Amino acid sequence: MIREVRLLGDPVLRKKTREVEAFDEELAELLDDMAETMYHYEGIGLAAPQIGIDLRVTVLDVTQERDGSGLIELVNPRIVESSGTIPSEEGCLSIPGVVETIERAAEVEVEHLDRSGEPATIAGSELFGRAVQHEIDHLEGVLFIDYLGALKRKLVVRQFKKALEEQASTER
Active-site amino acid positions: 135
Segment 7-66, which members bind Co ion (CB under 5 A)?
none
Stretch that binds Co ion, among 16-24, 55-63, 88-96, 120-128 (CB under 5 A): 88-96
Smallest CA-to-CA distance from 22 within 55, 71, 60, 69 is with 55
Burial classification of residue 108, based on how many CB atoms lie within 10 Å of its CB (0-12 exposed, 13-18 middle, 19 or more buried): buried
Measured between alpha carbons, how far is 152 from 95 in angstroms, rounded to an integer?
A: 15
Give the span between the Cα atoms of 52 and 84, in whole angstroms: 33
* Distance (Å, whole) CA 30 – CA 53: 9
Look up residue 64 and give its DSSP letter. S
**Stretch of 8-16, 60-68, 70-78, 89-97 lying at the interface with Co ion (CB under 5 A):** 89-97
Residue 92 binds to Co ion (criterion: CB under 5 A): yes
Coil, strand or helix: which one is 102? strand
Among 20-28, 51-59, 84-92, 123-131, which window interacts with Co ion (CB under 5 A)?
84-92
Q: Which residue's CB comes closest to Co ion?
A: 92
Q: Which is nearer to Co ion, 72 or 92 (CB)?
A: 92
Residue closer to Co ion, measured from CB, 92 or 98: 92
Least distance (Å) from Co ion to the CB of residue 89?
13
By beta-carbon proximity to Co ion, the closer residue of 25 and 87 is 87
CB nearer to Co ion: give 6 or 161.
6
Non-local (6+) Cβ contacts of 33 within 8 A are: 1, 2, 3, 51
d(CA 117, CA 20): 9
Q: How far is the CB of 152 from Co ion (least distance, A)?
A: 18
CB of residue 2 to Co ion, shortest distance in Å:
17
Report 121-150 residues binding Co ion (CB under 5 A).
none
**Residue ranges that bind Co ion, judged by CB under 5 A:** 92
